[in-house]
């Protein structure tokens, strides 16, 4: 069958799909816009985040009469991709975005890159100028396929409306199978107006895209033997355990074998932190005992994690005493940063039970004595005062008032690390944050997506005064759709993490990081959009504000918490240091 659409990919080879067709009684011609909406509905898509423009008006005209698909009008296309990303992380289903051509498409780039780095399934539809003028610098033309090639699993430029349904279904298949990620489909305007028949295709098969899911049995047997004979084993659990929905399997194996568990930033919630085996998060701002366990362990089992630099610290000093087992569905991740003795390519949901079945509980009493001593000597500190709000106390109080059951969404910076450290994540898909790309402005729109995806869950966006201002205009979206997101601004009048590094490593030369009195009145900002705004300047007020905010269920609430401006985030592994070279205070930093 001749291909009439263009594809490109950074991770998969473009292939013509093999499609099994089920003819439906209604096969009257539909234009491309109608085929798009019918295919999305048939695929079970219930929410579409979008912003209209000239190139996609045929789609919006079709949406006018469609009542099966909930279109959410966001205020900026970047925020739309973040909202779809939050929806995807909260549900495991792909988030779906619609943007127009030119700047509409380019505005999605940051959100697409964010999803790519964190392996989040997105399908992004962009409008394009008519096929006859592509390449002629037509009004609002941009080569979005070329621009997004490095940050998508696959992308398409549709040149024949007869292939449109095929492309859409293949896009969803690729976004959600194997290692998840974003896929972009570029839609020239003439393809949306041209008519074709809707087939009701049911199954997509791509011969070259068949991820290996079960793992190699001899490697599984090696891993089980290595784990059984370990004296100081450690489970290092990443975001793959969340995207692979393997949290029950990870928990079951850890409990049966009595092995300590540490998670990455993306893996928070994959193992309940209320269990004694939890060491919390490891890495640059991880717990002392998690980082020391990584340094001293003799067998390390990496589960859906990629050994990124914020976890490893200085590579030459990373977990040198351990033999390593690495389980990942993406073979390109294995051995990329750290050499491992037992690589296992497969779905962690299948591989972990297979290892657990063969392994016997190792002798770990002495190991636990050591870890428990570390926990006692180096706990996470939560300073408190009667007249001022410490950021750590703010997060701890949010955790207590929500009973640890909320979905927590963050931006990037100090507040993100404190939220990761001091909120207790006992459920999967309860932590939503930009990890790999570190995208400021992500938190609030992602919280909107999560709240729409999970209306029965409390959603709290813990953000900074810097990050919130990057997408604060989405207050209009939250108010319009009465989305009950609780926005907790950790207001320290600066870019906290930047200021911290400038203080510690640049002789306190706080270049362009301190806002001072130039911040807006966030309470008035909320009220201007029609939202509820509250402010707290001490712990008593904070507790009162939080309780009042949680009782409001018919729209967004913004809480402005004035926190100590000069508080720094510890523990911290300084740049270039190994994990066991953590510092826990300003005084220790001064000695470096």
Helix (H, G, I), strand (E, B) or coil at 368: helix
Could you give the CA distance from residue 211 to residue 238 in angstroms, rounded to a whole number?
19
Secondary structure of residue 238 in the 3-state scheme: coil
- What spatial distance separates the first Cα and last Cα of the chain, rounded to whole Å? 65
Q: Is the peptide bond before 571 cis (omega within 30 degrees of 0)?
A: yes
- 348-358 and 247-257 are packed helices; what angle lies between their axes, rounded to 10 degrees? 20
User: Which residue reads 């944050």 in tokens?
Assistant: 433
* 139: annotated active-site residue: yes
Catalytic residue among 49, 128, 165, 189: 189
Q: Is 400 annotated in the active site?
A: no
Q: How far is CA 180 from the centre of its chain?
A: 11
Provide the pairing of β-strand 342-345 with 323-328: parallel
Known active-site residue 255: no
d(CA 513, CA 112): 27
* Beta strand ranges found along 404-497 (DSSP E): 407-410, 431-432, 459-464, 486-491
β-bridge partners, 478: none
For residues 200 and 23, the answer to whether their CB atoms sit within 8 Å is yes
- Using alpha carbons, select from 337, 348, 232, 216 the residue that is nearest to residue 294: 232
Q: HSE, CB side, 13 Å, CA atoms: give it for residue 20.
A: 4
Q: Is 582 a catalytic residue?
A: no
Of 226, 292, 397, 497, the active-site residue reads 497
Query: Is 78 part of the annotated catalytic residue set?
Result: no
Considering the candidates 140, 248, 341, 550, report the single residue annotated as catalytic. 140
Which entry of 34, 38, 49, 77 is annotated as an active-site residue? Answer: 77
Dist CA 156 CA 346 (whole Å)? 27
Helix, coil or strand: residue 256 = helix
* DSSP conformational letter for 379: P
User: Distance between CA 555 and CA 338 in Å, rounded?
Assistant: 47
- Active-site pick, 139, 210, 400, 506: 139
* Calpha distance 567→494 (Å, rounded): 11
Sheet holding 323-328, edge to edge: 278-281, 261-263, 233-237, 299-303, 323-328, 342-345
Cβ proximity of 211 and 351 under 8 Å: no
Structure tokens at 49: 């985040």
Q: At what angle do helices 77-91 and 443-453 cross, to 10 degrees?
A: 50
Ranges of beta strands (E only) in 287-422 are 299-303, 323-328, 342-345, 407-410
Give backbone dihedrals phi and psi of 97, rounded to 5 degrees, phi first: -130, 145
- Which of 177, 127, 117 has the alpha carbon at shortest distance from 152? 117
Contact between 421 and 568 under an 8 Å Cβ cutoff? The reply is no
Give the C-alpha separation, 321 to 526, whole Å.
Answer: 53
Other beta carbons within 10 Å of 202: 11
CA-nearest of 55, 158, 51, 66 to 107 is: 51
Q: Can you name the residues that pair with 535 across neighbouring β-strands?
A: 560
Backbone angles phi, psi at 157, to 5 degrees: -120, 110
- Enumerate the active-site residues: 77, 139-140, 189, 497
């Amino acid at each position: 069958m001749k291909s009439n659409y263009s594809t490109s990919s950074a991770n998969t080879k473009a292939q013509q799909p093999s499609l099994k067709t089920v003819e439906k009684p209604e096969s009257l011609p539909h234009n491309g816009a109608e085929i798009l909406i019918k295919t999305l509905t048939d695929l079970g898509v219930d929410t579409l985040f979008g912003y209209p423009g000239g190139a996609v008006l045929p789609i919006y005209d079709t949406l006018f009469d469609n009542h099966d698909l909930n279109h959410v009008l966001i205020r900026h296309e970047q925020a739309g991709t973040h909202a779809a990303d939050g929806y995807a992380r909260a549900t495991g289903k792909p988030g779906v975005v619609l943007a127009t051509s030119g700047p509409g498409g380019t505005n999605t780039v940051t959100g697409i890159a964010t999803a790519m780095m964190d392996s989040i399934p997105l399908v992004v539809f962009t409008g394009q100028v008519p096929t006859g003028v592509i390449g002629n610098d037509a009004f609002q033309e941009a080569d979005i396929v070329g621009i997004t090639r490095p940050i998508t699993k696959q992308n398409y430029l549709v040149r024949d409306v007869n292939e449109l349904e095929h492309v859409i279904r293949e896009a969803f298949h690729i976004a959600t199978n194997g290692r998840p990620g974003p896929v972009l489909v570029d839609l020239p305007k003439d393809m949306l107006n041209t008519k074709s028949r809707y087939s009701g295709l049911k199954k997509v098969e791509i011969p070259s895209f068949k991820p290996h899911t079960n793992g190699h049995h001899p490697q599984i047997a090696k891993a089980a033997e290595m784990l059984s004979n370990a004296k100081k084993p450690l489970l290092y659990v990443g975001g793959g355990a969340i995207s692979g929905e393997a949290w029950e399997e990870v928990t079951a194996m850890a409990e049966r074998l009595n092995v300590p568990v540490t998670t990455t930033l993306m893996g928070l919630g994959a193992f309940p932190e209320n269990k004694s085996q939890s060491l919390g998060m490891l890495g640059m701002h991880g717990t002392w005992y998690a980082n020391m366990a990584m340094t001293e362990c003799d067998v390390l089992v990496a589960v859906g994690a990629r050994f990124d630099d914020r976890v490893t610290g200085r590579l030459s000093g990373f977990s040198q005493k351990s033999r390593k087992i690495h389980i990942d569905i993406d073979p390109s991740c294995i051995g990329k940063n750290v050499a491992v003795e037992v690589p296992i390519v497969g779905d962690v949901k299948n591989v972990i039970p297979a290892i657990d079945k063969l392994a016997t509980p190792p002798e770990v009493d002495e190991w636990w004595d050591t870890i428990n001593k570390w926990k006692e000597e180096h706990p996470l500190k939560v300073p408190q005062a009667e007249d001022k709000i410490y950021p750590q106390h703010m997060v701890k109080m949010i955790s207590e008032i929500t009973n640890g059951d909320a979905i927590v969404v963050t931006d990037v910076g100090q507040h993100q690390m404190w939220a990761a450290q001091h909120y207790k994540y006992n459920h999967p898909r309860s932590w939503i944050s930009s990890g790999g790309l570190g995208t400021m402005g992500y938190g609030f729109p992602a919280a909107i997506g999560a709240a729409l995806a999970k209306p029965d869950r409390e959603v709290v966006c813990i953000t900074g005064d810097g990050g919130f201002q990057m997408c604060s205009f989405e207050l209009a979206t939250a108010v319009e759709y009465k989305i009950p997101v609780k926005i907790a601004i950790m207001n320290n009048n600066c870019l906290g993490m930047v200021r911290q590094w400038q203080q510690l490593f640049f002789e306190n030369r706080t270049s362009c990081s301190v806002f001072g009195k130039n911040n807006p009145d966030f309470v008035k900002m909320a009220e201007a959009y029609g939202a509820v705004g509250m402010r707290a300047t001490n712990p008593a007020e904070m507790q009162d504000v939080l309780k009042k905010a949680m009782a409001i269920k018919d729209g967004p609430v913004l809480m402005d918490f004035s926190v100590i401006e000069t508080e720094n985030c510890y523990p911290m592994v300084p740049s270039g240091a190994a994990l066991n070279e953590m510092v826990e205070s300003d005084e220790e930093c001064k000695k470096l």
